[in-house]
Each structure stands twice: as C-alpha cells, then as structure tokens.
Chain A
C-alpha cells in the first residue's frame, strides 16, 4: 500500500487515506464539522450513528474486530466523557486500532460553557492502558498525525484543531517525538495543542527581551518523548508546563510523574486550570481572562522566575 497523500487540511487527507486504504472507516456521533464533504465520497464507509457516543465507540470496536481502521468523531467532551467506559472496555482492553477525534477541545470550546470544556481529556485518555494521546498544534500537523495513527495497532485519542500553523515547524509530526522549537537554558516551556502557537509568540517576545528560552511542543503526550522533557528540566532554570487542561492529570502531572519516576528535581511552574472550569466567552477573551495570550504568558512567566 502506498502512503496516502497528506494535505495541509484534515478532510482531504482523510479522503486520500480512505481512497488508499479500504480498512479506513469514518464514524461520527452526528458531529460532521470536520468531515462534512465525506458522506457522498465514502458511501457505506461513512457511518453516522446519531447522537450516540457510546454506541459509536462500540460500533468502532466491532468494525476493528473485522479488520477495519475506524476514525471516530464527536465533540471532545462527549467522546471522552460520555463514552469513557466504552473506550476503556471495548477499545482499551482488547487494544483495538481506532482513532478518536475530539472536536473543540480545551479552550477551543470558547463560549459553550463547562459542559463542553474538554479539559480533562488528556488525563482520562492517557489513563487507559494501550491508549495513545496526540494533541497537534494545527490542522497540518493533525493531518500528518492522522496518516500515522491509522497505522497503529492500538487506539489513539486526538485533539482536533482546524487552525493553520501558528509557527514554523522544525519537522513534520512524528508519533512519540516532541518538537524543540527554540533552544535556551533559562526558561523552559513545555506545551501542546492549540496553546503551542501562543507559547511560541510569548517565547519570541521573551527572547527579544534578552531571555534564553527552550520551547518544546509536545504533540504526543502518550507515549511521551521522555528525553526531550528531561533535557528541558535539566537545562533550564525554570520549566513551565502550559496547557488548556485541568492541573490534575495533564502535562504538569505527566512531567511530575516522570520526575518522580526518574528521581529528578527541577523547578517546574504549571499554567493550567486548577480545580475550576474556564470563563465561557469568545476565544480571544478566554485567553485574555485566563492569562494565556502571548503578552499575558510573558507577564506570568517573568513574574514566576526566581529573582
């Protein structure tokens, strides 16, 4: 089988994948935003189960049992929360190949309110044995990831993103590999997904102000690129974990677990949502209010540095 062509956007890449690989089947629990054009092209290989996230996951398991590679779509909260037990039991236990794509994760749910805030998705999904967790920074990286993930013999949860790249990538997506965007030794920044662009802009400002910054985008949270994280912790005086996720269970927890496992000490400052949901409003105001715009990040990072 030849490798499917990768486009800078999701839907054409999915279409190309389906055309090259008859195993790929697209599912949705009536969430078609990312795949609107596929039904007429895919015919029976496009399965919309209606607003039934649990059934969609069970169906994905059944299709995978028959040798298919299902790619299932729903809003990130509903797929990870409503269908959690189905993911754990029907995909996690048997280690069946399936890609679960969560729409409007993290801050991207902007004004929907807390029911739609997938800010525990990384925590929940990485806790399932055999499950991979991928959070691309932009749609191009998402498309690159998709092509690799349908080849995996295990389930993967992916945070969907439909934005064009917000920074120049050093290399294309490689499963399990972090991307070191800037090298430095004073401030370490570990981030993923949508916030990588804002961290990039903040890092540029910090560098312009004379700071030395090591910026690492971690698109694969599981399996983790432990070496890239450990190097950041060892190199930088202060490392910041920056994420649109609860403080519990996300990247800060991942880093803390790694440090404990390896017996390492480092100065780590988390920027995350501690025991609360974020203010529901339009995305720019969410970032402003929660302190995740480039300027706010610069301010908060500067304030948190040791004097």
Chain B
C-alpha cells in the first residue's frame, strides 16, 4: 500500500537533497502530531482540527511570535489567541515542546488534577485566554490590539480562527470593527480545513469566496498552503500586509493532516481511539502502514 506523504510533516526525500530551511519546525510539528495522537485516547480529543492547524501553530510559535516562556508577562510580547478552542491539543503540545511547561504534563490530559481539558484556559502557561464557544476571541484580540495601539506598542496580536467558526455573526462584527479601527497589528489566521463539525463548509454554509469577503470588509488577505512552511514563511514574513489594515491569512489545510486514514473525514472530528489504535496511528504518521481503525465514529456535535 502506498502512503500519501504529506509535504511539511514527514521525511521528504526531495527536500533532503537540498538543505531544509525548516527542518527544525518540521521536526517540531511531527512531535506535536505525535502528542496530539496520544491525546486521542482515554477520553479522546478533537483530533481532526488539531492536526489541521498543527503546522500553523508550530510555525507561528517557533518562527513568528515574539514570545517565550520568559516573556509571558511582558506587555510587549506578541499575543497568540486560539479562537477555535477545540484545536487545543496542538497548542498544548507546542507549548510543552517549547518549554512553557514540562512535556510530561501532557499525560495529564483530561485529568481531574490538572486543567488540560478539551478547550484552552489560562491555567496552562502560554495560553493567553480561554475559548470554547466559537466567535469570541476575534473581539478579545481586537481589545488587546487596541490597547497596544493606544500605548504605542509595536507588538502584534495573532488569532487563529476556524472556517466553520466564520458562520458566527460575531466574527463579521469583529471583521468590521478591526477594519474601522485600522488594526494593522492584528492578524487573523483562518485554519481553512473546509470542514465544520459534521460536514464540509461548502456543503452547508458556503464561505467562498472567503478571501473576497474579507477583502470587501477592508482586510488585506493572503491565501497560502497551511502545511507548507515555505508558504507560511512568506505569508508571515512582512506583516502587516498593508499599513493601516488588518491582515487575514487564509491557511488552506487538511482536516486530520498526517493521518491518511482519518483525513478529510467528517466522522473523525472528535475521536476516542483504543490504545492499540494509537500505536498504529503513530506508525501511520511516520509513513508506515495505515492503521486499522475499529473504534466507533463519534458524533459529539
């Protein structure tokens, strides 16, 4: 059986020939995906969206955000908000790998003795704000961005939103308001994995042409492959895209990226795999045999 090798996540022979400028973040993203898969059992997690945004989150934390564990209290740090809170395993894993808290703590996922549950909260070092209900953190980000402007700061506010999340009216309120205030220190990253909980976005409430919609709202928009680190590098290299305008980066991604057996599947959004399936999925991630999944599919929304 051939395995689709996902650019950006597994060993890619063509890249090995030339020097891989993103080897470090590529390796980080692979470890992050391993952690996500390990969180998909004993209660489970929202694996599909966590995997779709894994490259975005790891790239941003390693290459874009001016923040470290030591500068979390610094008002001049860059802010990262995860508005689509169910992707939080990707953030937990990235923060752990980058030293915000011990990697060991990831084993506390869903434990009553920790605060590492299905949505983010501020008891996890590095998490700037909780989320869970969709359509909230764009407005919170606007508040932070406004204050930075008022104080003459140069730091930026990044908020990762979902494409399904863009169904929420509050998103479009936020798009209007951020433009009205010329928040060029605000960057929205849309994890455009083309799925909402149970169905493809275009089959339910079509978002396309999303770039044109955002442009019509006064945003500067760039669309990139959200699994291609070269593309992400070019998108994030010079921000804002235009002075006086908020920036939106539409990162085209694949739900379940890295695990062909669950990719682009509406029924593998939230999963709770058996221990042996986890072992198989880890092998699948590394390009070995596809996992044989026998766990029931879960419809949690």
User: Of A55, A57, A66, A89, which is in contact with the most chain B CB atoms at under 10 Å from its CB?
Assistant: A55
In the complex, B105 has a CB within 8 A of chain A: no
Assuming the contacts A44-B150, A65-B129, A94-B129, asked whether A50 and B143 have C-beta atoms less than 8 A apart, the reply is no
In the complex, B176 has a CB within 8 A of chain A: yes
Interface residue tally for chain A (C-beta within 8 Å): 28
Interface residue tally for chain B (C-beta within 8 Å): 31
- Number of cross-chain contacts by CB at 8 Å: 94
0/1 interface trace, chain B 162-192, chain A, CB 8 Å (1 if under): 0000000110011011001100000000000
Which residue of the partner chain, among A58, A63, A66, contacts B170 with CB atoms under 8 Å?
A58
Cα A89 to Cα B168 in complex, Å, equals 16
Which residue of the partner chain, among B130, B132, B142, contacts A58 with CB atoms under 8 Å?
B142
In the complex, A80 has a CB within 8 A of chain B: no
In the complex, A296 has a CB within 8 A of chain B: no
In the complex, B297 has a CB within 8 A of chain A: no
Q: Which of B117-148 contact A (CB under 8 A)?
A: 122, 128-130, 132-133, 135-148
Cα A68 to Cα B133 in complex, Å, equals 24
Cα A54 to Cα B130 in complex, Å, equals 16
- Which residues of A sit under 8 angstroms from B181, Cβ to Cβ? 47
In the complex, A187 has a CB within 8 A of chain B: no
- Which residues of A sit under 8 angstroms from B75, Cβ to Cβ? 66-67
In the complex, A62 has a CB within 8 A of chain B: yes
Q: Quick check: B146 and A94 within 8 Å, CB to CB?
A: no
In the complex, A211 has a CB within 8 A of chain B: no
Q: Quick check: B147 and A68 within 8 Å, CB to CB?
A: yes
Q: Which of A79-137 contact B (CB under 8 A)?
A: 85-86, 89-90, 93-94
Q: Quick check: B150 and A45 within 8 Å, CB to CB?
A: yes
Cα A67 to Cα B141 in complex, Å, equals 14
Q: Quick check: A61 and B147 within 8 Å, CB to CB?
A: no
In the complex, A49 has a CB within 8 A of chain B: yes
Q: Quick check: B136 and A89 within 8 Å, CB to CB?
A: yes
In the complex, B22 has a CB within 8 A of chain A: no
Q: Quick check: A55 and B173 within 8 Å, CB to CB?
A: yes
- Which residues of B sit under 8 angstroms from A70, Cβ to Cβ? 143
Which residue of the partner chain, among B122, B135, B138, contacts A94 with CB atoms under 8 Å?
B122
Chain B residues within 8 Å of A, Cβ to Cβ: 75, 122, 128-130, 132-133, 135-150, 169-170, 173-174, 176-177, 180-181
Q: A89-B132, A90-B129 are in contact. List 18 more A-B contacts (CB 8 A).
A: A44-B150, A49-B177, A50-B180, A52-B170, A52-B176, A54-B135, A55-B138, A55-B173, A58-B142, A59-B139, A59-B146, A61-B139, A62-B140, A62-B141, A62-B145, A62-B147, A66-B144, A90-B136
